[in-house]
Amino acid sequence: MAVSASRPLTGVEVRAGLFRQPAMQTPVLVLNASYEPINICGARRALVLVLKGVARTEEEQGNMLHAARMRIPMPSVIRLLEYRRIPHQTRALSRKNILLRDRNSCQYCDKVLTAAELTLDHVIPRSRGGLSTWENLVACCHSCNRRKGNQMLHELTDMKLKREPRPFSLHTSRHIMRMIGSADAAWRKYLYFEHTEPAA
């Protein structure tokens, strides 16, 4: 069902803080026009896409966003109206994608934290020749980052990686989509309908 709105939101309303509510950070599953799951975005971005006519709401969260002269159902799943070709290649290396790949958890102590409570750590420190690559960058809490400092892991007896860092591929992205949506029936029917996809 498409989101029904009597008019688009104005820039003044957005700047006034309408889109700064915590609910706006809720994850939303993004489908291609073919119903193939291709991404996860925040509810704020999903609403912008819907209101601009780029996407339509396929599943709703059950909550309503109240604004002046309008009520908008919060989306849980949206679908792009035009098919986007998604190249099967590694995603761009960025802080956001590192945190998404590592599921917002410190790769040393395994604590799940908010993005603001995490930093990026070079497994091999930059001062010792470490590069900013998928294989050398991990999500890390500030406490573990201070403890590790400028040392190599083999120099520490009480710190080790919980999992080997790898590039964020399309396969990784879909695994994370399944994990995040595993408890949501509205997501499951899109995430598990992938029998036509060749085995990785």
Over the stretch 131-158, which tens digit does the pLDDT of each residue have? 999 999 999 999 999 999 999 999 998 8
Q: Are residues 113 and 56 in the same domain?
A: no
Tokens 């029936």 correspond to 185
Task: Read off the CATH number of the domain in which 134 is found.
Answer: 1.10.30.50
69 and 25 in a common domain: yes
Q: Residue 176 sits in which domain range?
A: 11-87+170-191
Q: List, for residues 110-121, the tens digit of each pLDDT value.
A: 999 988 899 999
Max CA distance (Å), the chain:
62
Are 64 and 110 contained in the same domain?
Answer: no
pLDDT at position 63, please? 79
Q: Based on the domain organization, do 30 and 83 belong to the same domain?
A: yes
Residue 164 lies in a domain: no
The answer to whether residue 161 sits within a structural domain is: no
**Adjacent-strand bridge partners of 64:** 73
Q: Are residues 108 and 74 in the same domain?
A: no
Asked if residue 80 and residue 20 are part of one domain, the reply reads yes
Question: What pLDDT was estimated at residue 198?
Answer: 38
Q: Where do we find the tokens 């029917």?
A: 189
Question: pLDDT tens, position by position, for the chain (200 residues)?
Answer: 333 333 344 433 333 344 444 667 788 889 999 898 888 888 889 999 999 999 999 999 887 877 777 788 889 999 999 998 876 656 778 898 898 888 889 999 999 998 889 999 999 999 999 999 999 999 999 999 999 999 999 999 889 999 999 887 666 667 777 777 666 778 888 876 444 343 33
Contacts (Cβ under 8 Å, ≥6 apart) of 18: 9, 65, 67
Residue 83 sits in the same domain as residue 17: yes
Tokens of 117: 């409570």
CA distance 105 to 194: 27
- Terminal-residue alpha carbon distance, the chain: 33
Q: What is the pLDDT of residue 123?
A: 96
157/127 Cα distance (integer angstroms): 21
Shared-domain flag, residues 81 and 46: yes
The reply to whether 184 and 120 lie within a common domain is no
Residue 200 resides in a domain:
no
Looking at residue 91, its pLDDT comes to: 72
pLDDT number for residue 132? 94
Our count of domains for the chain comes to 2
Whether residue 16 is contained in a domain is answered as yes
Could you give the CA distance from residue 50 to residue 79 in angstroms, rounded to a whole number?
9
The pLDDT score that the predictor gives to residue 103 is: 84
Residue among 61, 74, 58, 59 nearest 21 (CA): 74
